[in-house]
Each structure stands twice: as C-alpha cells, then as structure tokens.
Amino acid sequence: MNGIFHFSRQTSGPKRGYFRSLSTLVNHPHIYVFPKKSHSEDSILSLLPTEPPLTELAIGSTSKLPPSPDSFEENPKFLEILQLVLEEHAHEDPESISQAQVMASTSGANLGSGGVFFAPRHKRASKFGAAAAGRGDSSKGVSGQGGAGSGRGGWIHVSDARRPPEFGRIAWPEDIFGSLEADSNGDFVGRNGNYQSSGTYRIVTRDGILGLSPFLREKLADELRKQERLARMS
C-alpha cells in the first residue's frame, strides 16, 4: 500500500456517464490526492474532488504518502478558512454541544474528547495554560481554576479526533483547534460560544492528518465549494 485508495466516479453534466479515476488517502475517503504537476513525486491533498484542484483551497502538499510532519507542507489559506468555519459553526457541532452539557452536569470534570473546564475568571489569559505546558491533567487544571462543583461556566476545547486523549487528560496543543465558552447550564455564551483559536493546531502530526467531526467537515467542505465556485467565476 502506498497510502492511496483509487476508485472511479461517474460524472454528471455534459459528460454524464463518463467515469474518471480519483484517489483518496487510505482511511481518509474524504481527502483527495492529486499529482502536483510541478513536482512529479509530490501530491496535493484536498477536501474537494475537483480536478485540477485549486491549490489555494487545498489542505497542502506532501512529498510522500501517507503524509508525515516532515513531508507535509500546509496551506496557510486553508488554515484561515478552517478557523473561519470553526468560528462560525463549532458551537453548533453536536460533539461540542455534548461536551458543554457534560461540563455543566459535572461542574468541570474531564470531557473525554478533548474538552476541559476552565473557570471564566481566567478566560483568554489562561484557558490554554495546561495545554501549552504539555499534555495536561484536567483535574489539576480544574482545581487551579475554580474546581469541581464551582457551579460556574467555563471553556471546552474543540479538538482533532486523530488521537482522543486518555481519561483525565486534555488533547495535545497541536490537536486543539480552539475553545468555546459555555455557561453553567451548558449553553454557549454569545453568538458563537466566544470561539477562540488556539494558535497551536497542526494539520499533520505523527498521529495522522486533519480529523474533523462529520458535522464540521461538511461545513468546511461547503465553504470550500463556495470559494471554489467564486474563484472559477472570476
């Protein structure tokens, strides 16, 4: 295996009935692989199946498959779009909603998929403190910032699913997209949960590539399709 899955897809429109070959990353059927024409051994990775791909909307490029931190070159524009989508929709994600509700019901206990409670009095200045220092222990973070049973709202992390943290811990900084603020009832604060980007997220790590929830992945793909249409019309 070279990290690629090949399949044929029927097209629509003027060439309806025509089949073209597409490639995706093994175990990532939503990430398409295209040869990079300027470098025959390099590949472009994209969430869109359109060929040729628009490099400005691609996830990035890699010199080998599957991609590794050493082989992968991320696309800064893609990261910007990713964060804009998270800012707009992360608070609507069923997984985020579930984490906020668990936080409220447990008053700050660990949230399983990367979320952890931080008391609002510390807000932006410290909500990434434990993560920035390394793989933190959620119970320690809670006791230092209000403690279980404080009856206050706090922050949950929105994290990549490629390596779910063990019980009692939060995700690595490189896996954290950002954070959302919720009140003591588990409802997100403000228009969008006051989403804050972590500034530490990496698209590819030794644990794999971009792992969004199905909800957020589709929202991101929708935005990329929208920008692709606009780019091709201009």
Answer whether 179's CB lies under 8 Å from 114's CB: no
Q: Provide the token pair at 35.
A: 């040869």
Per-residue pLDDT 10s for the chain (234 aa) are 456 655 445 444 444 544 457 899 999 999 999 998 766 679 999 999 999 999 999 999 999 999 999 999 999 999 999 999 999 999 999 999 999 998 888 754 444 344 444 433 334 433 444 344 344 443 333 322 333 334 578 999 999 999 988 766 799 999 999 999 999 999 999 999 999 999 999 999 999 999 999 999 999 999 999 999 999 998
Reported pTM: 0.77
> 223 near 81, Cβ under 8 Å?
yes
Task: Round to whole Å and give the CA distance between 57 and 227.
Answer: 8
pLDDT (0 to 100) of residue 127: 44
State the Cα–Cα distance between residues 233 and 55, nearest whole angstrom: 16
Which amino acid type is present at position 22? L
Residue found by looking up tokens 């969430």 in the block: 47
Rounded-to-integer distance, Cα 98 and Cα 94, Å: 6
